[in-house]
Every structure is written in structure tokens, then in C-alpha cells.
């Protein structure tokens, strides 16, 4: 998920997406541990997506506190 796509989401959608990605990451880790995961790059992509989502959410919270208008 690209940052431009993330910025179009509302804060509630971002929170929901974080939860979904964390569940996906858990499943990927279990698959990796059981040697069932073919593409191990999915784990790092999922982690990076979660980081991007959390970064945007934090940015919005800080902007709200500072009184800056954010989409």
C-alpha cells in the first residue's frame, strides 16, 4: 500500500487496516515457522505497511494537536 493511498483513507479506516495487517502478519509468521510460506518477502512487506499506516496516524494526531488542517 502506497503512502498516497493511505493518505486518502480516514483515521478510522487506517485503524481498521492496521488491525487487519497485524492479523495477516501473525498468519504469515505462523506459515513461515511451519515452512509453508513460499514468498518470505510478504512478511517484510506487511511490517512496512503497518509502519506506514501507524506513521500516518501519528502524523494526523500531532497535526490535530498543533491545530494544522490535514485531510
The reported pTM is: 0.88
Residue 67 has pLDDT above 80, yes or no: yes
Q: Read off the pLDDT of residues 41-51 as tens digits, 9 standing for 90 and up.
A: 999 999 999 99
pLDDT, mean of residues 30-47: 95
DSSP character at residue 38:
S
Residues 6+ positions from 8 with CB-CB distance below 8 Å: 71
Distance CA 9, CA 16 (A): 10
pLDDT tens per residue, range 5-29? 999 999 999 999 999 999 999 999 9
CATH number of 3-66: 1.10.287.310
CB atoms within 10 A of CB 28: 20
Amino acid at each position: 500500500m502506497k503512502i498516497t493511498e493511505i493518505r486518502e483513507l480516514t483515521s478510522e479506516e487506517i485503524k481498521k487496516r492496521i488491525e487487519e495487517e497485524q492479523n495477516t502478519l501473525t498468519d504469515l509468521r505462523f506459515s513461515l515457522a511451519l515452512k509453508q510460506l513460499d514468498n518470505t518477502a510478504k512478511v517484510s512487506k506487511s511490517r512496512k505497511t503497518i509502519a506506514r499506516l501507524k506513521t500516518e496516524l501519528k502524523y494526523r494526531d500531532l497535526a490535530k494537536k498543533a491545530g494544522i488542517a490535514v485531510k
